[in-house]
């Protein structure tokens, strides 16, 4: 598959993922808003912070390194060895689940059983669900490597919706079950997720479509561990790269979930405050999950396939380098504009959004300040996602190892900054610490990208520069919407709220018009790559 074909398939993957996620997440969004009316803040804090942290830590440490190593390079490889390597995620997940489950049960503070019953059952269920999800890892990597566009999104969306529906039903009918409700829902989520992949490959393998694509796996038994005498069990080069990514993934998990580790192990917030923080965090990260994450995951595959790790730019195919630079510049511009729009407009509409979503429980107290700070964090998340996407896809093993030391220093610094800022600013301090952490990571990635292209004529970092007219429109929009919030929101009735929303819509329309006329290169990229598949269908 040529680089242009890879780009075409990657953009289809990103756009389809984003659109389908929006469709299914809107349903989930409504179901979660309904659940908030029936569950205490303490229950939400325990489930969404402590137990979800257990699950995400086990899954991340067991599989992240394998994913990054096994998705690098061409799909033309010895897939038997790769699949053997991927199955190591399961025993690794069992070990992490047992070890971390012991810590969660023996070393951490146990919640009051009167307010949050069945804590031990919750720990066991969330640890088990992580192991169940790892059973589908070979299927996931195979699907991603061959750019199966809708499988990942549909599988995740169906499992999330099933989880939310079961949670709503049990919360309404059996609220006294406590953590049993969320434990059953979590197990249902991972089981459906794995079953979707298994059932898809049972249907796909051996089909005419698989034969036409020369798919490297022909039977379901080929997706099981396979020991042969005429070859090594795993590709040791791939295994060494996995080990390098594993050391990095441990540190990256500390950075990604750092505030939850501080909450869990240092008890800087009670379970109720943790619940409010998590709700605001999830609400603020909607765009990151809808748009930024699909772009990051999809274009990591593109860069990993087009670029050669550890090879100088001059020694690679110049057409591929030109395309990678152009794509990187356009992606940076795209996420910068999306993130900046959220930062500017999110400040004036945070309190209104929280009041509509969760009522006074969220819109009073620290909720609005949290979401306003998170609007700035989304901008940094957007830029970091693309810069690190390129960085990790192009780094060689030695560079990955060196970056591990940077991540180690960042992890330690972040945890210290989180603790002190939380003592000073409460839960807002977590978001400020995340902004600090993300800024350092962006600076490192920008330095790497600048060095990567310095011997060439390409300057993809120009994607981070905006025209003066667009900057002016953003400033005016921010000032107008802030004044609108002061005079119209949020205790002056629904008519005033509607006028406030109208003011924001007009300012946003003016911003979009300015983007259309000033960022013609980006508009052309979006039109030719993300929208071309829909125009082709219409013709």
pLDDT digits (tens, 9 = 90+) for 378-423: 999 989 988 988 888 888 777 877 877 777 787 778 788 888 888 8
In this prediction, residue 180 carries a pLDDT of: 92
Domain boundary among 442, 460, 478: 460
Contacts of 490 (CB under 8 A, 6+ apart): 351, 352, 355, 363, 497
pLDDT one-digit tens code per residue, 171-181? 889 888 888 99
* pLDDT at residue 539, rounded to an integer: 40
User: Do residue 308 and residue 225 come from a single domain?
Assistant: no
* pLDDT computed for residue 24 by the predictor: 61
Domain presence at residue 534? no
In a domain, 532, yes or no: no
Where residue 224 falls among pLDDT bands split at 50, 70, 90? confident
- Would the pLDDT of 510 be above 80? yes
Is the pLDDT higher at 55 or at 206? 55
Answer yes or no: do 279 and 349 share one domain. Answer: yes
Q: How far, in Å, are 272, 490, 506 from residue 364 at the CA level?
A: 14, 11, 27
Report percent pLDDT > 90 for the chain. 25
pLDDT at 281: 80
Q: Check whether residue 193 and residue 154 sit in a common domain.
A: yes
State residue 469's pLDDT score: 93
Q: Is residue 467 part of a domain?
A: no
> Could you tell me if residue 176 is inside a domain?
yes
The parent domain of residue 164 ranges over 3-261
Does 507 or 116 have the greater pLDDT score? 507
Calculate the alpha carbon distances from 37 to 40, 68, 108 in Å: 8, 40, 28
What is the reported pLDDT for 526? Answer: 79
How much is the average pLDDT of 64-86?
A: 79
Dihedral angle, C-alpha 348, 350, 353, 356, nearest 10 °: -100
> Does the global pTM surpass 0.85?
no
C-alpha distances in Å from residue 306, one per residue of 294, 310, 316, 318, 430: 18, 13, 10, 11, 37
Residue 196: the pLDDT is 93
| Judgement on whether residues 242 and 300 belong to the same structural domain of the protein | no
339 and 230 within one domain: no
Q: Is residue 468 part of a domain?
A: no
Which pLDDT belongs to residue 533?
Answer: 46
Candidate from 175-179, 367-371, 490-494 with smallest mean pLDDT = 490-494
Residues 275 and 223 in one domain: no
Residue 320 has pLDDT above 90, yes or no: no
**117 half-sphere exposure, CB direction, 13 A CA radius:** 7
> Based on the domain organization, do 199 and 319 belong to the same domain?
no
Calculate the average pLDDT of the chain: 83
Whether the predicted pLDDT of 100 surpasses 90? yes
């Amino acid at each position: 598959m040529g680089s242009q074909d890879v780009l075409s398939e990657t953009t289809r993957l990103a756009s389809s993922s984003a659109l389908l996620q929006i469709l299914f997440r809107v349903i989930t969004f409504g179901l979660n808003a309904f659940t908030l009316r029936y569950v205490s803040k303490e229950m939400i804090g325990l489930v969404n912070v402590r137990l979800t942290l257990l699950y995400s830590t086990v899954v991340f440490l067991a599989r992240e390194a394998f994913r990054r190593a096994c998705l690098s390079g061409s799909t033309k490889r010895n897939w038997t060895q790769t699949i053997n390597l991927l199955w190591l995620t399961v025993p690794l997940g069992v070990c992490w689940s047992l070890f971390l489950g012991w810590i969660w049960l023996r070393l951490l503070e146990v919640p009051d059983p009167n307010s949050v019953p069945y804590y031990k059952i919750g720990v066991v269920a969330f640890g088990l669900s992580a192991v169940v999800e790892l059973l589908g890892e070979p299927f996931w990597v195979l699907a991603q490597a061959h750019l199966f566009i809708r499988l990942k999104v549909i599988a995740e969306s169906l499992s999330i919706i099933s989880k939310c529906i079961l949670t709503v039903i049990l919360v309404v009918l059996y609220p006294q079950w406590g953590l049993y409700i969320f434990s059953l829902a979590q197990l249902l989520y991972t089981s459906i997720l794995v079953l979707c992949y298994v059932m898809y490959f049972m249907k796909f393998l051996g089909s005419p479509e698989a034969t036409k694509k020369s798919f490297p796996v022909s039977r379901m038994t080929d997706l099981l561990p396979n020991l042969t005498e005429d070859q090594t069990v795993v590709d040791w080069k791939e295994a060494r790269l996995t080990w390098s990514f594993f050391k990095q993934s441990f540190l990256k998990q500390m950075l990604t979930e750092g505030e939850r580790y501080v909450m869990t192990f240092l008890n800087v917030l009670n379970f109720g405050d943790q619940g409010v923080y998590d709700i605001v965090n999830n609400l603020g990260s909607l765009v990151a999950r809808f748009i930024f994450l699909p772009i990051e995951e999809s274009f990591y595959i593109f860069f990993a396939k087009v670029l050669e790790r550890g090879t100088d730019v001059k020694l690679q195919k110049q057409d591929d380098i030109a395309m990678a630079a152009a794509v990187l510049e356009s992606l940076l511009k795209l996420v910068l504009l999306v993130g900046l729009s959220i930062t500017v407009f999110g400040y004036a509409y945070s309190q209104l959004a929280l009041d509509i979503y969760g009522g006074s429980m969220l819109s009073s107290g620290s909720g609005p300040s949290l979401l306003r700070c998170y609007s700035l964090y989304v901008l940094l998340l957007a830029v970091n996602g693309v810069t690190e996407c390129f960085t990790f896809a192009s780094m060689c093993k030695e560079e990955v190892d060196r970056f591990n030391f940077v991540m180690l220093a960042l992890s330690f610094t972040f945890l210290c900054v989180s603790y002190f800022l939380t003592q000073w600013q409460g839960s807002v301090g977590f978001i400020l610490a995340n902004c600090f952490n993300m800024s350092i990571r962006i600076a490192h990635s920008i330095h790497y990208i600048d060095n990567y292209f310095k011997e060439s004529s390409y300057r993809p970092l120009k994607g981070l520069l905006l025209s003066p007219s667009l900057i002016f429109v953003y400033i005016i929009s921010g000032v107008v919407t802030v004044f609108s919030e002061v005079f119209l929101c949020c205790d002056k009735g629904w008519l005033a709220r509607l006028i406030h929303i109208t003011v924001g819509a007009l300012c946003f329309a003016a911003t979009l018009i300015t983007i259309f006329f000033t960022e013609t290169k980006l508009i052309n990229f979006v039109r030719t790559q993300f929208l071309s598949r829909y125009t082709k269908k219409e013709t």
